[in-house]
Amino acid sequence: MGGSVAVIIVTWNGISYLRECLPAVLAQDYPRFEVVVVDNGSTDGSVEWIREHCPEVHVLQNPTNFGFSLANNQGIRSTDSDYVVTLNNDAIPEMGWLQSLVDAVETTSDVGMIASQICFYDRPNLLDSAGIEVDVLGVAWNRRLGKAVADDPTDCEEVFGPSAAAALYRREMLEEIGLFDECYFAYYEDVELAWRARRAGWRCLYAPRAHVLHVHSATGSRVSGFKAYYLGRNKWLTLFRHYPFKRLWIWVPALVLFDLLSLFSSALKGQMLASLRGRIAAWRMRREVVFGFGINNSDSVIKWLDPITTLASRF
């Protein structure tokens, strides 16, 4: 029998998604798990619906939206399971998902994170994420985004980190390195945590048998400029904290050029101001988040900064 699991689901006015997400989670055939929903001040009747239809779910209520990072940390701290699973409220796991995650993490003791196979809800034959990759510019992407599920491997493979939309974390690892950085609010918090974990020597595996359908950016797209602001801000907060500027100084000009191209892309989408505000905020916050600016990361992390692929494909 595997270790105990706590599934943490953060929600904000997501009752339409919870109606499908929670039954799929509660139907999992894994024998030792609990479900905690952290509600970020919903006004759509989410909490009342959960208590009526899913009474076995433990609910934590916040008076307002405290963000994805802080709310997940609340859920994690309220449990004492061997493993913690984060799941977006717009993600629907298939049967056997939890069992596959636990099977993967229990392969070796230095595996601290497991990435699910996440597919688009409306295009289940295409991948949304097969874990996180980080290129040599320090920019994070969903691995195999848009690739066919049929071409995905069937066995576990090592990746940089998991998408927190559907991820398993070993509690022992979290107790060592800490939880999600709460100043991130939303977006890139999983990248920062994975980077921190790898620097501490923990590994991540991608479990293609842990299958989840995901409504991509269902929450972040509700507020204009929300995602653009936090992606721009949190990407640079992560770079300030972890990117090996001294070790990879040759790539810094390319990093700046790529960011300018990214801003131009945001302008084409009408989100230039939000993206720019996010970057300015990161610059102002840099001293608060940097514990070792320009640190020479260990080779175990450097090797995961993959060479640049075609930049045009990133936009």
Last residue of one domain, picked from the residues 181, 198, 221: 221
Task: Read off the tokens for 98.
Answer: 């939890």
Cα separation of 168 and 83, whole Å?
A: 7
Give the SS3 label for residue 278: helix
Check whether residue 179 and residue 33 sit in a common domain.
Answer: yes
What number of other Cβ atoms are within 10 A of residue 82's Cβ? Answer: 16
Give helix then strand counts, H and E, for the chain.
Answer: 10, 13
In this prediction, residue 310 carries a pLDDT of: 38
Model confidence band, residue 302 (pLDDT cutoffs 50, 70, 90): low
User: Between the CA atoms of 269, 273, 277 and 280, what dihedral angle is there, to the nearest 10 degrees?
Assistant: 100
Whether 58 and 166 map to the same domain: the answer is yes
Are 61 and 136 found together in one domain?
A: yes
- Torsion 270-272-274-278 (CA) sign: positive
Instruction: Note the pLDDT of residue 261.
Output: 78
Q: What is the pLDDT of residues 8-55, one digit of tens each?
A: 999 999 999 999 999 999 999 999 999 999 999 999 999 999 999 999
The residue with tokens 């690892």 is 173
Assess whether 196 and 262 both reside in one domain. Answer: no
The verdict on 308 and 213 lying in the same domain is no
Pick from 202, 194, 198: which is nearest to 131 by CA? 194
What is the predicted pLDDT for the residue at 280? 84
67 CB-side CA count, 13 A: 16
Strand partners, 118: 129, 212
Structure tokens at 249: 């100084």
Number of domains in the chain: 2
Cα(40)–Cα(38) distance, integer angstroms: 6
Where a domain ends, among 181, 204, 221? 221
51 lies in the same domain as 193:
yes
Containing domain of residue 134, as a range? 5-221
- Based on the domain organization, do 211 and 246 belong to the same domain? no
Banded pLDDT at 295 (limits 50, 70, 90): very low
pLDDT tens sequence across 177-190:
999 999 999 899 99
Q: How many CB atoms lie within 10 A of CB 284?
A: 10
Token pair for 156: 């576990």
- pTM for the whole structure: 0.88
Nearest to 159 by CA among 143, 148, 147: 143
Picking from 298, 195, 199, 311, the residue whose alpha carbon sits closest to that of residue 251 is: 311
Determine the Cα angle at 159 with ends 118 and 37, to 5°: 45
Domain identity same for 300 and 210: no
256 and 159 together in one domain: no
Condensed to tens digits (0 to 9), the pLDDT of residues 231-290 reads: 989 998 998 888 888 777 788 888 888 788 777 777 667 677 788 888 888 888 877 766
Domain boundary residue, one of 221, 250, 277: 221
Rounded distance between C-alpha atoms, residue 257 and residue 259, angstroms: 5
Regarding whether 188 and 40 lie in a shared domain, the answer is yes
Q: For the chain, what is the mean pLDDT? A: 88
Place of tokens 């055939």: 29
N-terminal to C-terminal alpha carbon distance within the chain:
45
Residues 252, 296, single domain; the answer is: yes
Residue whose tokens read 């339409």: 16
Residue 181 — φ and ψ, nearest 5°? Answer: -75, 115
Greatest alpha-carbon pair distance for the chain in Å reads 58
CATH number at residue 156: 3.90.550.10
| Unique residue bearing structure tokens 């309220």 | 78
**C-alpha 149: how far from chain center:** 20
Pair 255, 179 in one domain: no
